[in-house]
Amino acid sequence: MRYDTIFFDADGTLYDFDTSEAEALSETLINAGIEPTPAVIALYHEINLAQWKALERGETTREKLRVDRFRILLEEMARQGVSSNANPLTLCEYYVERLSEKCILIPGAEDVCRKLSKYASLYIITNGLTRVQTGRFSRSPISKYFKDVFISESMGATKPERAYFDMALERAGIKSEEEKHRVLVVGDSLTSDIAGGIGAGLDTCWYNPECHESGDVVPTYTIKKLDELYEICGVPKLEY
């Protein structure tokens, strides 16, 4: 095997976060008496993404993010003539509970994890909320293939910070430079997974199914499908 250790991002890499988010949000809005129209779902997705990007830049905190995304959503809806007396904190708590129950995988993710786990130690690296990630991971069929889950909220550092990756390496037992050269970071986010991995001196693989441009961030590898990892990692062809 070319790599002994693989750090996998969770949302958008192994888990189908967009579908999970839409389902959990629809259930949350219906519970609050708000119609979950495609426009409202799209508006929340835009707001939520902006909040997580702000977290990556150190411009907000997780606790603030959790509630602010719903506060901003309600404010934007009101500006568009859709009023609601829903409480942002109540919406947040209900949504997080629903999202923690969703463990919808990217097609092929389970098979890829199963095969790679025979040859390398697999770990999850995620900026997600602890309550959400532990809930979904405990229900997920891929949990048995992973050695550990490194959740930024529990570690006190966030991807792409160097401190986060240093702690992940330490917890995975990676100490020498030679060992670091046999670690691969796999993720869909250039700004958190790939930039963070590069900053920590690790090889990176950008999962890019929609063929976006990478810009100034240059990953070691780019793939459209997860099973392309077999060749990158050196899995025997008989396993394909």
Among residues 9, 11, 188, 193, which one is catalytic?
9
Last residue of a domain, one of 100, 130, 162: 100
CA 106 to chain centre: 12
* Same-domain check for residues 80 and 130: no
* Same-domain check for residues 21 and 11: no
pTM: 0.89
Say which residue the tokens 């993010």 belong to: 65
| Residue pLDDT tens, the chain, 240 long | 799 999 999 999 999 999 999 999 999 999 999 999 999 999 999 999 999 999 989 999 988 999 999 999 999 999 998 889 999 999 999 999 999 999 999 999 999 999 999 999 999 999 988 989 998 999 999 999 999 999 998 999 999 999 999 999 999 999 999 999 999 999 999 999 999 999 999 999 999 999 999 899 999 999 999 999 999 999 987 666
* Same-domain check for residues 233 and 136: yes
* CATH code of the domain covering residue 51: 1.10.150.240
* Same-domain check for residues 117 and 78: no
Instruction: List all residues 6 or more positions away from 111 whose beta carbon is below 8 Å from its beta carbon.
Output: 227
Q: How many domains does the chain have?
A: 2
d(CA 199, CA 153): 20
* Same-domain check for residues 143 and 232: yes
Q: Is 9 a catalytic residue?
A: yes
The predicted structure's pLDDT at residue 240: 64
